[in-house]
Structure 1
């Protein structure tokens, strides 16, 4: 090999040695990597701690829905509808007329009942007149009895005086005179007894007449009750809104025949709330009055507010038609759900009545328990 070739070969070995000596150090040996890693881990730990500290202040569930006491309108009398208000999905105030049933039979019943009242009043007046007549007859009998009673008393006194004189002096009173006194006493006593009996009979007639008046007045009261019942029945032919709310689920039209108890329509009242079925383990710190933020699935961008109104005493399964019998068979513990009633607050928050929100719509309440 020539000197020039050896020289070039030496230069190449020197360049390779310099390239190997300039290789980059490992990533794990760089301080910047560990600084960044520590910062990231610290941020994750602090963020997780802050999230835990914030999350532990709230209890939330998606097993919740808007609830209300829906009023279902049904007639108490049967008949044909002659008018039905066209108020589907409209808001009505309490007392608004919604439907009218054809008043055929009830009007006749009312007329008959009113006639019965007049008849009963006439009978009562007649009975009162009989009482007046009976009292007059009693007074007349009492007046007529005064003379026989006085005559009987005088005859009895004369007989007693004659008998006393005869005992003192048998010659002072003749036997014929004594016999006449006895006869007179018996006669007048009988007349007095008859007069007293007439008074008692007249008094009995008065009592009977007074009882007849009471009976007639009772009949009048009964007839008037029938009139009131007929008026109630006639009033039942008009169906009005018992509460303010929205008319929904109308099932009839003009001309439809309705039977007593058949549902015509329903009203969703203005007062609504959220029924949230929380797990029993979520109730440890939950108390009445705690604030609640409510999200309605239909309006996710609207922040409704409320508060805990009440907590049901008992899990939902306790009120099932066929409640579970844990004392029989194999028992598997299941966390139960307990209904919690949450009332909307509308003072400084959106009013649910301003939105098409109704019973059954899904909600997500979050209760601040700490």
Structure 2
């Protein structure tokens, strides 16, 4: 019997039609539910960029001694937290204390030589002043002798004129022989006095020349004293620098923490001999961030301050959040030890990775779940704001 005849006889539809409608309705419900459930994931997928090439990073400071020596004490243990200025280890300081004492003794000796040079310089200045005073005195004596010569010359000329006049009068018999003899004697005395004064000027000129030579010698001694002073002062400065260096080396025997953090890779023990610059441990800063190496095709819409969801492999299910701090201006391969040389002719296009720094926003959560450098993470950057900006820029370019 056909379905139509069965429907007319019984007045009911067949079961196959009911099943078909139920199946279609169930399928429609499942489809709508699937779309409703998948839509948020789709929206999330198109508005987020993620990568599994990401890890935790931080500041890692390598600690090394600045002076060599035997380690006398170690004040830290593995994974211990230290603060800035904490003493990590101490190197035997006895040799450096002796070096400081030697440098201080040399500085005291150099200081004594400087004082000696100052005394010699003062004596040279006094000697020069004395020689100049003697020269001035001898010059004054010369001036007095010049005045005496002028006076003696005037007396001689007067007596010579008197003798000439009296001699003429004596020939006429107007004066006596005694007066003529007296005039002659006076003229001889005046000539002798003039000659005597003239002889004194030669002696005085010789004394002046001697004083001038003494001044030149005193000036040379003064210049030499100045030179010695400069040399000894330079040696004093050198000795002071040696003291400063010895004091610094002594202070370097106490190795202190330059920053706060956690001790890692400790490789120093009491009694070890360490060299200057030898790495003995590292300090890992508690401040951490994420370095995510996104493909170059993923960063087109990324911007600073965009929100980031972070999954840490060590803490599944813990919702870490952060924001984009900066995007490196250059791919990772560009800053490797041997960057690729594409001009060599063997170029193969490879999608490059660009490091993006992501800063975590919840320090309390980071303190509760410690993050160590090198941990693997999966960041997901919300690029919806960047897409809006990109769309507006594209629209503005189209309108132009």
Deviation at 1:115, TM superposition (A): 0.6
Deviation at 1:184, TM superposition (A): 3.5
Deviation at 1:140, TM superposition (A): 1.8
- State how 1:156-171 maps to structure 2 within 5 Å: 156=146
Q: Are 1:331 and 2:347 an aligned pair?
A: yes
Equivalent position of 2:311 in the other structure: 295
Equivalent position of 1:304 in the other structure: 320
Equivalent position of 2:378 in the other structure: 364
- State how 1:41-56 maps to structure 2 within 5 Å: 41-56=31-46
Q: Are 1:235 and 2:257 an aligned pair?
A: no
Equivalent position of 2:67 in the other structure: 77
Q: Do the aligned partners of residues 162 and 66 (structure 1) sit closer, same or farther apart at CA in structure 2, a change above 3 Å counting? A: farther
Equivalent position of 1:137 in the other structure: 127
Deviation at 1:212, TM superposition (A): 2.2
Conserved? CA contact 1:28–1:34, under 8 Å: no
Matched residue of 1:192: which SS? helix
Find the partner of 2:104 among 95, 99, 114. 114
Matched residue of 1:306: which SS? strand
Distance between the aligned counterparts of 1:249 and 1:53, measured in 2? 45
Matched residue of 1:212: which SS? helix
TM-score (norm 2): 0.78
Deviation at 1:81, TM superposition (A): 1.1
- State how 1:311-350 maps to structure 2 within 5 Å: 311-346=327-362, 350=365
Distance between the aligned counterparts of 2:150 and 2:283, measured in 1? 96
* CA root-mean-square deviation: 3.2
TM-score (norm 1): 0.83
Q: Do the aligned partners of residues 162 and 336 (structure 1) sit closer, same or farther apart at CA in structure 2, a change above 3 Å counting? A: farther
Q: Are 1:100 and 2:116 an aligned pair?
A: no
User: How far does the alpha carbon of each residue in 1:325-348 deviate from its partner, in whole angstroms, 9 at most, with x for none?
Assistant: 22233432211101111122236x
Conserved? CA contact 1:149–1:191, under 8 Å: no
Distance between the aligned counterparts of 1:164 and 1:327, measured in 2? 110
Q: Are 1:150 and 2:164 an aligned pair?
A: no
Aligned residues: 352
Conserved? CA contact 2:76–2:89, under 8 Å: no
Find the partner of 1:88 among 78, 83, 89. 78
Distance between the aligned counterparts of 1:166 and 1:369, measured in 2? 124
Can you give the 5+ residue segments of structure 1 that lack an aligned partner in the other structure?
1-12
Distance between the aligned counterparts of 2:212 and 2:369, measured in 1? 89
Structure (1/2) with the larger helix percentage: 2
Distance between the aligned counterparts of 1:263 and 1:234, measured in 2? 20
Q: Do the aligned partners of residues 176 and 258 (structure 1) sit closer, same or farther apart at CA in structure 2, a change above 3 Å counting? A: same
